[in-house]
A = this chain, B = another copy of it.
Amino acid sequence: MPDADGDARAAIMAATDRALREHGYADLSISRIADESGTSKSALYYHYEDKDELLVAFLDHTIERFSADVEIESWDDPEAGLRSLLDRLLPTDLDADGRAFQAALFELRAQAPHEAVYRERFTRTDRLLREAIAAHLEAGIERGRFRPVDPEATAQLFLSVIYGGMLERVTTADDDPVADLRRALDAYLAFLAAEGDG
């Protein structure tokens, strides 16, 4: 039996994604999401009470995609695993569409200090990513491939670097800082791996 309600919600999430990339968070409206989804405002209001409820659902949807994204594919090479995570979260090249999406997510995140429902979602995203990074580090330490660093603290360092780089990349007019950042992270990964290679 097809899940008509689920299909409609999935279509709304995809339309919200497109509308956010195109208009940003500040200029997002139910009308614009309806335009993107090719449906009516009232159809949207049937599924979500207001823009805020829809955006929280969108954050949940985004976290779900993230979870799949950071799933550990291979435990055999923890250094390659960390690099592949970095490639996905902090790619050297990011097209205009990707930048627009990250900019919109930061606009949403900037609401988190005042909005508990947003704060809860970003807390969950951060925990998910931090745990994925820590799992790679732990696997590397266990296999003698990484120095015995504190996996929690080191995972937090990686995560902050990723967020800082994402933020600077979309909010400054300089050359993209990410190329420099990835170079510094390569040196840091080499340091982490230094003792394990022997």
Contact = CB atoms under 8 A, between A and B. Distances in A.
Contacts of A177: 126, 156, 159-160
Contacts of A157: 161, 180-181, 184-185, 188
Interface string A44-81: 00000000000000000000000000000000000000
A193 to B, nearest CB: 12
Interface of A: 24-26, 99-100, 103, 106-107, 109-114, 116, 118-120, 122-123, 126-127, 149-150, 152-154, 156-157, 159-165, 167-168, 170-174, 177, 180-181, 183-185, 187-188, 191
A164 B130 CA distance: 13
A162 B122 CA distance: 18
Given A113-B24, A152-B180, A183-B153, A167 B173 contact: no
Main secondary structure of the interface of A (DSSP, over half): helix
A191 B53 CA distance: 47
A172 to B, nearest CB: 4
Contacts of A127: 174
B109 A103 contact: no
Nearest to A183: B153
B150 A184 contact: yes
28 contacts: A26-B114, A103-B110, A103-B114, A107-B110, A107-B111, A112-B170, A113-B170, A113-B171, A116-B173, A120-B173, A122-B171, A126-B177, A153-B184, A153-B187, A156-B184, A159-B177, A160-B161, A160-B162, A160-B163, A160-B164, A160-B165, A160-B168, A160-B177, A161-B161, A163-B164, A163-B168, A164-B165, A167-B167
B167 A181 contact: no
